[in-house]
Amino acid sequence: MTNTVQVHRVYIKATPERIWDAITKPEWTQKYGYSGLVDYDLRPGGKHRTHPTQDFIDAGFTGDLVDGEVLEVDPPRKLVMTWKLLMSPEVADEPYTTVTYDIEETKTAGTRLTITHDVTAAPNTAALVSGQMEDINAGPGENAGGGWTWILSDLKSLLETGEILVP
């Protein structure tokens, strides 16, 4: 078994609080990336889920899209959770992985958002979240396999310009 950890980073012209809200509040998450509706119980041991938007339901995805447990929470600086994508059988059969969001305000470059995703023993999840499966269509987003890089790019665009990459 190989340990695999992916690190994705972006600098955003926004406060840590605004980035935290964009990650943890459904009114934000429905606007960017894959447009799911997050539902967090923001305490260690709390559950988190991503529910489908109407676009997902219309495409036939009626159950929760992502499932996991909150491991650590320090608003607006850090969120650690287990994570499993439920909408793809190849990925849903793999073990839970661990996602860490680190949000750090810098003196010169805005706020640094780093996502560290430990995808140990989850090769299909690793391929999907790395962007290696960019051309698959797994729902409403045309770029369904663009992974964390695409999500971070879309989040940055939304927070800095008020517009997403692909309307």
Read off the pLDDT of each residue in 10-17 and give the average, rounded to a whole number: 97
Domain annotation for the chain: domains and CATH numbers: 5-158 (3.30.530.20)
b/e per residue 61-74 (b: at least 16 CB within 10 A): beebbbbbbbeebe
Percentage of the chain modeled with pLDDT above 70: 90
User: If 0-12 CB within 10 Å is exposed, 13-18 middle and 19+ buried, where does residue 16 land?
Assistant: middle
The amino acid sitting at 83 is: W
- Ramachandran area for residue 166 (φ above 0: left; ψ -120 to 50: alpha; else beta): beta
| Cα distance between the two ends of the chain | 40
pTM of the model: 0.91
> Residue 15, Cβ neighbours under 10 Å: how many?
15
DSSP string, 81-107: EEEEE-S-HHHHTSPPEEEEEEEEE-S
Mark out the alpha helices in 15-74 (DSSP H runs). 16-24, 26-29, 54-58
Instruction: For residue 103, give the nearest of 36, 23, 5, 163 by alpha carbon.
Output: 23
Q: By the 8 A CB rule, do 56 and 140 touch?
A: yes
pLDDT tens digits, residue range 64-103? 999 999 999 999 999 999 999 998 888 899 999 999 999 9
Look over the chain and give the mean of its residue pLDDT values, rounded to a whole number: 91
